[in-house]
Amino acid sequence: MAKWERIAADWREKIHSGELAPEFKLPNEQTLKADYEVSLPVVRQALDALEAEGLVDRRHGRGTFVRAPRQRVRRSPERYQWEKDRARLPESQRRRTGATERDTGLTMQDLEFSAEYRTVPATVELGRLFSVPVGAKMLERVYRTGSRRENAPLSLNTSYMVYDVVAENPALLDAHNEPWPGGTQNQLLSIGIELDRIVDEITARPPGPEEAEALNLPPGVSVLILRKISIDTRDCVVEVSNVVLPGDRTEFVYTTKLARWSE
C-alpha cells in the first residue's frame, strides 16, 4: 500500500465508523506530514482521495472537514417490475409512494420534486432510437427530485417521448400534473401502452461544470450516465430517459440468476 493510501485508509475508517462526526476538522497538512512522516505531496494526495470519495470538504483558508453523509440511491432492475405492478393499482394506493422512495428509503414528505415540460425537435440520436424523422416533435420532461435535508437533487433526469403519442391524453402534456401517481408506466397505461422491457445503458464520465454545480459534486467525482430505454409490447421505443447520477452516492445492484447444470 502506498503511503498516501495508508493515510487515506486511516481517516476513511474513522469516518465510516462514526468516530468522527460531520464538521470534524482534520489536522492541518503540516501536522499530518509530521504524524505520518511523509512529504506534503503525499498528504495532499491522501486528502484528494478522501475529497473525491465525498468524505471530506476542503475549504480554502479554513481546513479540511468531515462531510455529512449524503443520501444514497440504490437502484436495481426489480424497480421496473415493481413500477409495472403498481401501474394498475387504484390511484389512492399509487399516491402513497414512488420509485425514488423505494430506492432511497425516504418518504414522500422527505422529498422535493420539480418537473418542467417543453417541446423539442428530435435529434439524430432521438430519431434513431424512436424511429421517427429528425425534427419530429418530441415532449421533453426534466425532473429533479431531492431530499429536503440536502441542497442538491439525487439525479438530473431528462425524459423524451413522441409528442403525438403522448397527446392522446392531454393530461400528460401538463407538468402541473407531476408527480404523477404511478409514474411513467401508469402514464403510458392511460394511452393504452404496456411496457415489455426496459434497457439500461450505463456509462461514466467526468461531470460538466453545470452538472457538478447542480449535484454539488466534490472535485474528482465522476457522474454515472444511465440511458433508460422503455420498449412496449409492439417492440416500439416509447420513452428514453437520460439520467445523470452522482458517482459518490449512487449504487447499481444487478443480480443475474443462472441456470444450473444438469446432472
- Digits of tens for pLDDT over the chain (263 positions)? 799 999 999 999 999 888 999 999 999 999 999 999 999 999 999 998 898 887 888 888 899 999 888 888 999 989 999 999 999 999 999 998 899 999 999 998 999 999 999 999 999 999 999 999 999 999 999 999 999 988 899 999 999 999 999 999 999 999 999 999 999 999 999 999 999 999 999 999 999 999 999 999 888 889 999 999 999 999 999 999 999 999 988 999 999 889 999 86
* CB 147 within 8 Å of CB 154: yes
pTM over 0.85: no
Q: Which of 244, 257, 117 is nearest to 187 (CA)?
A: 117
* CB 3 within 8 Å of CB 38: yes
Q: Residue 93 is which amino acid?
A: Q
Q: What is the pLDDT of residue 111?
A: 93
Q: Residue 97 is which amino acid?
A: T
Q: What is the pLDDT of residue 7?
A: 94
Distance of CA 64 to the CA centre of its chain: 27
Q: What is the pLDDT of residue 52?
A: 81
Q: What is the pLDDT of residue 104?
A: 93
Q: What is the pLDDT of residue 83?
A: 95
Q: Residue 92 is which amino acid?
A: S
Segment (H or E) for 164:
helix 163-166
Measured torsion, CA atoms of residues 44, 47, 48, 53, in degrees rounded to the nearest 10: 170
Q: Which long-range contacts (CB under 8 A, 24 or more apart) does 180-183 make?
A: 181/91, 181/94, 181/95, 182/83, 182/86, 182/87, 182/89, 182/91, 182/94, 183/83, 183/86, 183/87, 183/98, 183/99
Q: What is the pLDDT of residue 229?
A: 98
Q: What is the pLDDT of residue 191?
A: 98
Q: What is the pLDDT of residue 19?
A: 92
Distances (CA, A) of 70 to 104, 138, 152, 253: 11, 35, 10, 19
Q: What is the pLDDT of residue 94?
A: 93
CB environment 127-138: b (16+ within 10 A), e (fewer)? bebbebeeebeb
